[in-house]
Structure 1
Amino acid sequence: MKRIGLLSSILLCSLLFAQNDKTKILTEILDKIKENYIDEKVFKSLDSLFQSEIKSGQLSSSLNEKDFAENLTQKLRAATKDKHFFVKYLANYSPQKNINEKEQEKQNNFSNSLENFGFEKVERLKGNIGYINYKGFAELKSSKKALEAAMNFVENTNSLIIDLRENGGADNAMLVEFCSYFFDKNINLYTTYFRNSGKTVKNRIQSNVAGKKYLNKNIYILTSPKTFSAGEALAYFLQERKLAKVIGEKTGGAANPVDPYYIQNKYLLLVPDGKITSTYSGKNWEHIGIIPDKIVSQENALKTAYLLALQEIINHKAKTELSENDIRNLIIKLNQ
């Protein structure tokens, strides 16, 4: 009986220690959000919610760090309606010290190269239609050459399909670079206001890009609920300026850019600390998502875009490697 009592005491102490540890972590997370989150008004209600949960111990009662992080992510997103909030438990994480910029760039380059810098597939479909399956915006310096190669490959196509159905976003500089391939003028595309610094940054289209620009041609962008952040931005900016038609399903609705924070070297916290504003519409897609020009299931988005591109060839009597009769037969075959 004494042994059982001793084990119970040890377990109780462990539970209390774990709860106190998570309470400290939660408090630090809330401090970071308070300092940096873009919407100060929303934070007040968020703070009230979590302070009550800290006192009750409801949120920090679990011993499982992964579940704690996932639960916190869900609560942050539910309370703010901001899908960019994210908390992840970092198992066996140790911060890298004294790593220079060149070494960091080398590591990023290698890591991104394992996924071909987000370019899953680049090809020419029958009828001289370009197709780029792009899954994520890797860091600009390391992925610029892959973008150049992709755009040079589709240079001579009659129209272009950009598949963003699985694109989760990421690097802002790469987003601006990609957008620059579709504009012939150096314009301020959008601004980003950062609450923590009070600064507003202009995001300008690049007049000169390494590859060939894709101008005055039909562009179709495929979307799904998984299309997120910078993936949404590419669709949004080309759609609003009538440079592309969006085909598929409504996107996730996450426009606010984030910064990462490491909490006691145990958790990664992403806090939305900025607000994007289009210089064309004065708006963004936060909480709304991108509404496609043609709404179809994500599974049928590619076929739908391909059919539209082929029909445009017939409508404008554009020259391809196929005859008009061949294209009509291809359309019939796709519709079967």
Structure 2
Amino acid sequence: MKIAIRFAVLAGLVGFYFYAIAPMLFGVSQARDDAGKPMAESERKQMIQLLLARLDGFYLVPEKASEMRRVVEAAEAAGKYDHLTAGNQLANALTNDLRSVREDHHLTVEYKSIVLGPEEPPQGSKPDPGPDPGLLAAGGRAVAGVFRNYGVAEASVLDGNVGYLRLSGFSPSYLAAPKYASAMRKLHDTRAMIVDLRDNGGGYGAAGEVLASYFFDQRTRLNDTVYPREGVTVEGWTAEKLDGPRYGQQKPVYILTSRGTFSAAEDFAYALQQQKRALVVGESTRGGAHPVELFRLSDHFRVWVPTGWSHNVISNGNWDRTGVKPDLPMDASNALLRIQDRLAAQR
């Protein structure tokens, strides 16, 4: 694949944070032990060499990719992988060895018990697919199976006229946008908003930008995406036009997080926190700030390779490995009731 083609997809459809939902989105089962059919040594070596080649070609920190190659090749030479006959055991061992070089929660080798389909050019996963007929017919149904109501798990008005928006994930923006508009029509007249991301493992960052747009009155810069190998930064901004009514910048917004909040969900929380548009409440999040691409390594193995990183111009950094730190730290299980009590006291 040519770099220019790959980057055109990335730049045109920026905001891809897809690690947590991909296995479900594509209808692929979770890894199962298959100890009865051990992987042939020649097949394993070929798979590992393709893995290392993908890291050499695409990982966001080239020198770390070189170090990962040395670690994995040394482990292979020492026979570390020889007796890992279960596919998921080998995938976990490879993931752990790669992350021993650089703790990167998005960098993951996966094993699937069913035969994976072939890659289609351009290689790697598309950031935020547009509404072409094929995606609407097939991809839309697949996403619906992963995220109830395309990620909008609940939109309700709590006691005291407080809006409550619970998101289970971030679907592609063309699917999620109508659901956000519907939710905002329902919650527009509330006096405060609680956005619950405690069980949100990520998805498509572009959808997070659409949702964030409802909480600002003017065009506002969110989180950029840096692709170091191309030397390009793609700026992230709120949308100028929305299908539903803006919530605006004057009413308070609280974002609930947990240790399981990850990737695109962290992106959303961090952007509003840095703009001082929302208070983050609960626990520090998991800490994944890298857009990724997906590569098939064999019939049963694939790898998620981070190709860039998020960057916020206010903090001059991101939340990778540290997580988004809450403004009001507390046990995540108590966060909703605590904020409801806080808002009740302010009436």
1:173 equivalenced with 2:195 (yes/no) = no
* Matches of 1:312 and 1:73, distance apart in 2: 48
- The residue aligned with 2:67 is 45
Give the alignment of 1:289-304 within 5 angstroms.
289-304=323-338
* Matches of 2:99 and 2:186, distance apart in 1: 40
Q: How far off its partner does 1:211 sit?
A: 1.0
- The residue aligned with 2:124 is none
Contact 2:72–2:97 (8 Å) recurs in 1: no
Q: How far off its partner does 1:285 sit?
A: 0.6
1:142 equivalenced with 2:170 (yes/no) = no
Structure label with greater radius of gyration: 1
Query: Superposition RMSD on alpha carbons, in Å?
Result: 2.2
Q: How far off its partner does 1:154 sit?
A: 0.8
Contact 1:248–1:294 (8 Å) recurs in 2: yes
* Matches of 1:79 and 1:140, distance apart in 2: 34
Name which of 92, 104, 113 aligns with 2:135.
104
- The residue aligned with 1:280 is 314
Contact 1:66–1:88 (8 Å) recurs in 2: yes
Unaligned runs of at least 5 residues, structure 2: 1-35, 122-130
Contact 1:192–1:276 (8 Å) recurs in 2: yes
Name which of 225, 228, 235 aligns with 1:192.
225
1:15-45 CA-partner distances (Å, limit 9, x unpaired): 9962221121111111111111112232232
Q: From the superposition, tell whether residues 15 and 144 of structure 1 become closer, same or farther in structure 2 (CA, over 3 Å).
A: closer
Contact 2:68–2:97 (8 Å) recurs in 1: no
- The residue aligned with 2:251 is 217
Task: Give the structure with the larger helix fraction.
Answer: 1
1:275-313 CA-partner distances (Å, limit 9, x unpaired): 111122221111111111111111111111111222232
1:201-243 CA-partner distances (Å, limit 9, x unpaired): 1222111111111111111111111000111111111111111
The higher relative CO (CA closer than 8 Å, separation ≥ 6) is in 2
- The residue aligned with 2:106 is 84
Contact 2:222–2:312 (8 Å) recurs in 1: yes
- The residue aligned with 1:5 is none
* Matches of 1:97 and 1:192, distance apart in 2: 25
* Matches of 1:101 and 1:265, distance apart in 2: 28
Q: From the superposition, tell whether residues 17 and 243 of structure 1 become closer, same or farther in structure 2 (CA, over 3 Å).
A: closer
1:113 equivalenced with 2:144 (yes/no) = yes
Q: From the superposition, tell whether residues 86 and 203 of structure 1 become closer, same or farther in structure 2 (CA, over 3 Å).
A: same
User: What TM-score does the superposition give when structure 1 sets the normalisation length?
Assistant: 0.83
- The residue aligned with 2:294 is 260
Counterpart of 1:131 in 2: which secondary structure? strand
* Matches of 1:87 and 1:162, distance apart in 2: 32
Contact 1:245–1:292 (8 Å) recurs in 2: yes
Contact 2:118–2:296 (8 Å) recurs in 1: no
Contact 1:108–1:142 (8 Å) recurs in 2: no
- The residue aligned with 2:94 is 72
Q: How far off its partner does 1:88 sit?
A: 1.6
Counterpart of 1:28 in 2: which secondary structure? helix
Q: From the superposition, tell whether residues 249 and 96 of structure 1 become closer, same or farther in structure 2 (CA, over 3 Å).
A: same
1:182 equivalenced with 2:212 (yes/no) = no
* Matches of 2:108 and 2:340, distance apart in 1: 36
Name which of 241, 257, 260 aligns with 1:208.
241
Contact 2:168–2:197 (8 Å) recurs in 1: yes
Identity, in percent, stands at: 27
Unaligned runs of at least 5 residues, structure 1: 1-13, 314-336
User: What TM-score does the superposition give when structure 2 sets the normalisation length?
Assistant: 0.81
Name which of 109, 113, 117 aligns with 1:95.
117
Q: Which moved more, 1:281-290 or 1:192-201?
A: 192-201
Contact 1:258–1:274 (8 Å) recurs in 2: yes
* Matches of 1:205 and 1:64, distance apart in 2: 46
- The residue aligned with 1:24 is 46
* Matches of 2:325 and 2:197, distance apart in 1: 14
Q: How far off its partner does 1:94 sit?
A: 4.4
Q: From the superposition, tell whether residues 149 and 35 of structure 1 become closer, same or farther in structure 2 (CA, over 3 Å).
A: same
* One-letter code aligned to 2:88: K
